[in-house]
Each structure stands twice: as structure tokens, then as C-alpha cells.
Amino acid sequence: MKFELNTLPRDSSDAEIIAEIRRVASVVGKKFLTTTDFDLHSKIHSSTIRRRFGGWQQVLDKAGIGEKYSGVKISDKMRSQQAKNLTDDEILNELKRIAKELNRDYITQEDVNNNSEIMAASAVVYRFGTWLKGLEKAGLKKSTQYRIKFSEDELFENILNVWTHHGRQPFYSEMEKAPSTISPGTYEYRFGSWRKALEAFVEKMNQEDSNEKVIENKPIIQEKNEAKREKTINNNIKSGEIRSINLSLRYKVLSRDNFRCVRCGRSPATNPGVELHIDHKQPFSKQGKTTMENLETKCKECNLGKSNRHIE
């Protein structure tokens, strides 16, 4: 008699896993294929393949048996609406249930969005103030995803982009949406809270501009795929004599100009799509200095049109 392991390894190919899902579906033979029934017969745990494909609904879709999904197919928005009727305990119990089902002591917002049929992750933020507070109340840990390393410059650069976009200090919830490219949880993980991240940002912005790392002058609002930046370190040159404008100086110029174009008055906050640049009044090529006095905020259009439309 030949013994075989009754499990599929975690690193099985998608094709092997899909074959297994179909096999189990026919063994179970019911109208719907639930994770409970699946795990009774399968050689691989539902949580493993759920992680791989993004959710149970996606697993069944992938196997071509999407009609066997028993959950209600609803959007995040509908789930957010629904969550308003849930008690705090119901929300926390849902977090615990998902963690248990995934067999982990931490969960991500994506896990909630993929596995909950009664609420979206935003419901947790809405109810408890921050995602991490919700996790804490549910007795769960922070996800390892927040341990992804961003440099301090990248974290602050992202805050400045969002700050410029709204023309004011951004709220926690705004860090979850474009143009932010770093989650608020990352800031909480690094600084302890969103408030403390803002304090660190402002402290950095208040520093003098001498001999700091500088970032190339570029549009304030960036596309995601433009996120890679060239950075140079100028240790031997006075800041006024280098062309690039460091983060702190950009913040100061933008704040002084109220996050608006000094020519036409438009801002990203009031005119979506407006892109702000920091421009040298006296061009750098003509001995203009990189200083507060010689810098101003302009929208892309006014900046590009300066050679003919704004002759002084």
C-alpha cells in the first residue's frame, strides 16, 4: 500500500490549485461552495488560496465556478453604508473572525475588504479613528506590511504632496486616497500616530535649509509611476547656490504663497488638476539664488507661459 501526503504544498502552481478547487466542488456537490465545506475535503486550506487569489469570490471565479459563491456580491460603498448599523463589538468581532479564518494574529485592510461581507476596512477607520486603533481594540497586531521601509524623505515628500493638494494639513483619512501613495498606517507605525507624524513633518519643515539633502525641482503633484526621484546630496555648497529646492524650502514657499499660483490664483484644492511648481523668479541660469526671496509658487501653465505671457 502506498501512502501519500494528503496535502498540496503551499507553493503549488495555480493550475494544480484550480484543479483541486474543481475536484472539491464536485465532491461537495452543493449549489454553493463555502470555505467550511471546502476545508473538509480539500488538500489545501481555503485561507492559503484565498490569500493567493485575493478572496473567496475571486478563488471561485478563477476556477470558473463563480456561481458557487454564496456571499452577497456587494461593493465597498454598500458595505460602508451597512457598517453604520453595526455595533462596535460587531465590527471588532468581524475583525477577529477574519483573523481566525486566515489563521493569523494580524490582518490588513485588504484582508477585510476581501473577506468581509458585512463591512469594508474603511468602516473600522470611521468607527475607531484609525485602522490601528481598531486592530488594537480587537486584540490584533499591526500588519508586517507597515514595516516596508520608506525613507524619511519619501514619507515627508508624500505628506507635502497631499498637503499641497488640499492646501492645508491633511487628515488621516486623506492619506488613504490619491494623491497619497503611502498608507496612513505606515505613518502610525513609524511615528506612533498620525499626529506625531505631522509634528515630525512640521519640525523638519522648520529646520534651516543649510546643507541638507535636496530633491530635484519637480511637479509637486506626481503620478505614482513618477515616484522614483533623483536625489543628490550637496554637502559642500550653500543652499542658495544649488538649483534644486529641498523639501523644507518648498514647503515654506508653498505656505507663504498659500498653496496657490501667485499669478492666476488657482490651487489644486479649488481647481482639480492644477499642478504647482516652485519657480526661480530670477532664473538660476542668470545667477538667481535658490532662496525664499527668489522663489515663487506657480501653476504649470503660468510657469510654462512665463517667457511670453508674463514679460516683466
Q: In angstroms, what is the minimal distance from the CB of 263 to Zn ion?
A: 4
Looking at beta carbons only, is 68 or 260 nearer to Zn ion? 260
C-alpha cell at 223: 503620478
118 belongs to the binding site for Zn ion (CB under 5 A): no
d(CA 150, CA 311): 42
Q: Which of 289, 306, 300, 296 is nearest to 218 (CA)?
A: 300
Q: In angstroms, what is the minimal distance from the CB of 255 to Zn ion?
A: 17
Q: In angstroms, what is the minimal distance from the CB of 264 to Zn ion?
A: 3
DSSP for 143-190, please give it: PGGGGS---HHHHHHHHHHHHHHHTSPPPGGGGGSTT--S-HHHHHHH
Looking at beta carbons only, is 96 or 309 nearer to Zn ion? 309
Which residues ranging from 202 to 261 are in contact with Zn ion (CB under 5 A)?
Answer: 261
Q: In angstroms, what is the minimal distance from the CB of 309 to Zn ion?
A: 10
Looking at beta carbons only, is 101 or 296 nearer to Zn ion? 296
Looking at beta carbons only, is 63 or 299 nearer to Zn ion? 299
Looking at beta carbons only, is 54 or 167 nearer to Zn ion? 167
Q: In angstroms, what is the minimal distance from the CB of 203 to Zn ion?
A: 31
The answer for residues whose C-beta is within 8 angstroms of residue 248's C-beta and 6 or more apart is 204, 205, 206, 207, 209, 212
3-class secondary structure per residue, 221-258: CCCHHHCCCCEEECCCCCHHHCCCCCHHHHHHHHHHCC
Which residues ranging from 250 to 309 are in contact with Zn ion (CB under 5 A)?
Answer: 261, 263-264, 299, 302
C-alpha cell at 156: 515627508
- Residues within the interface to Zn ion (CB under 5 A): 261, 263-264, 299, 302
